[in-house]
Structure 1
Amino acid sequence: MPPAAHLRRLPPRAARRATTADESAGDEQKRSFLRMVSHELRTPLNSILGFSEILASELYGPLGAPQYKEYAEIIRGSGQKLLKLVNQVLEIARLQGDAPPFEPQAEPLEAAIDEVLAGVAEEVAARGVAVEVAGRDHLPAVSADPRGLRSALFQIVHNAVVFSPEGGTVRISAQALGSTVEIVVRDEGEGLDPADLPRLMAPFEQGENALTRSAEGAGLGLSIADLTCRAMGGRLKIASKPGRGVTAGIRLPAA
């Protein structure tokens, strides 16, 4: 008998309980599948990264022709990009599914921003970008999941650094607005057509988007930040005009 027909024969309350049980079982299957895929993808990628690093550093002696070292470095770089993409896709799948909810707590922004800036230090140095944090010692606290807060902040700060012109400045600020706190990240990049902005929030948009046209990557960072903010009871707002850079604002409950 089809499941729907079976449910129609049950009393309304029993049918609701049966539906809830089926949904819970389905959610657990999704989580189990994500854990399995995560392990099966990351394990070989970690091997590729580890062995290519050994070869590139010539840990056990010269490789011979210089091209071998160059190729090992290319393999390692490609592996890192693929691992980043795998992590992003799995994170979006986790956020779009009924994953365990985030656990909000009082989080000082100073520590979160410092950790995020440490994570993008390599890109900041490579592009010669300056990062300014307004009122660094007097930033408000937010009510957010620690991991979720850092993930959302990392995505928008990383995008701001990557799409800033060399030698440009990324400005970070935060202010309390009633019962919420708004964290704003501005860059000095080329900016975007406002018509492109809705597409930036849509994961797995087909074809080129406003981000992938000018830099490597799948352009999933803002989708992750948006989904993460929603899961924490906040929101992400993006504003931009051609030639005016991009302004990303995260609104979260105040602590």
Structure 2
Amino acid sequence: MAQDATLTRPARARRDATLDEQKRSFLRMVSHELRTPLNSILGFSEILTSELYGPLGASQYKEYAGIIHDSGQKLLKLVNQVLEIARLEGRALEFDLASEPLDAALEDVLRGLAGEIAARGTRIQVAAEALPSVHADYRGLRTMLTQILANAVAYGPEGGMVDISARRDGGHVEIIVRDRGQGVDPREIPRLMAPFQQGDTALTRSSEGAGLGLPIADMTCRAMGGRLRLAPAEGGGLEAQIRLPAALP
């Protein structure tokens, strides 16, 4: 502490910038070292599953290759989430805030989640034909919406509905994403929003995964100058209430 107090403001700024760059460099290295072998596992297991170079022989081999591929995908998703939280906590992500149309962002997100949505038989209902634009980061906005919608699809009932609405409220845009699932006890909500502290909640008991999607969405939203709140939805389910700055005129 005493040593830090002797530093001038420019010196502290240079030190902080150096530390931030070291964090970014370390995370790039970890990301590469983790993703490279995982991509190999996914690629080769996919070749085996498709029997690209001829039949494998016993039918069990193809089944096992499929299990390896599915397990690799789950592990890659978890690795990506842990690295995303590390980047957010370490301020190793740079956000370029600009006017971002919600329509385009939502279209990209739903396209990326098409497999999960189809597997659950979920119907997505958007309340307005033209959604307002927000002042946000291109990647950050899509990351946040992906995590929130993936959570709503995973924890809503099979064949259920997810409602999405957005409206301009002064200098902000309010986005509501609501599922029709069993909901959660309001006392559990703070744990759902805290990285690595979810424990055995109603959500983590009913589905696979480490429960990191909502903390990532919350941290990303705050990094873009917004806020995310969870609340029990009227009539059942869980409601994500997102508030972001509206696009600048």
Determine if the TM-score, normalized by the shorter chain, exceeds 0.5. Answer: yes
The residue type paired with residue 191 of structure 1 is G
CA drift of 1:127 comes to 1.4
Matched, 1:181 2:167: no
1:50 aligns with 2:43: yes
Cα distance change on mapping 1:22 and 1:58 into 2, 3 Å: same
Q: How many equivalent pairs are there?
A: 247
Q: Classify the secondary structure of the residue corresponding to 1:213.
A: helix
Q: Which amino acid aligns with 2:246?
A: A
Residue 197 of structure 1 is aligned with which of 183, 189, 202?
A: 189
Residue 178 of structure 2 corresponds to residue 153 of structure 1: no
TM-score after normalising by structure 2: 0.94
Deviations 1:105-155 (A, max 9, x none): 11111111111111111111111111101112x211111111111111111
Amino acid at match of 2:27: L
1:166 partner SS = coil
Partner in structure 2 of residue 144 of structure 1: 136
Give the partner amino acid of 1:244.
G
Identity %: 66
1:29 paired to 2:22: yes
CA contact (8 A) 2:35 2:76 kept: yes
Check if 1:19 corresponds to 2:12: yes
Distance change in 2, residues 1:5/1:112 (3 Å): closer
Which of the residues 106, 114, 118 maps onto 1:125?
A: 118
Could you tell me how far 1:164 is from its partner in structure 2?
1.3
Contact 2:56/2:62 (<8 A) preserved: yes
Which residues of structure 1 form unaligned runs of 5+?
none
Local SS of the residue matching 2:57 = coil
Report how far residue 100 of structure 1 moved: 4.3
For 2:96, the aligned partner's letter is E
TM-score by length of 1: 0.92
Q: Does 1:254 align with 2:235?
A: no
Distance 2:85 2:75 in 1: 15
Larger radius of gyration: 1
Output the amino acid matched with 1:35.
R
Moved more, 116-125 or 98-107: 98-107
In the TM superposition, 1:209-224 aligns within 5 A as 209-224=201-216
Cα offset, 1:208, TM superposition? 2.4
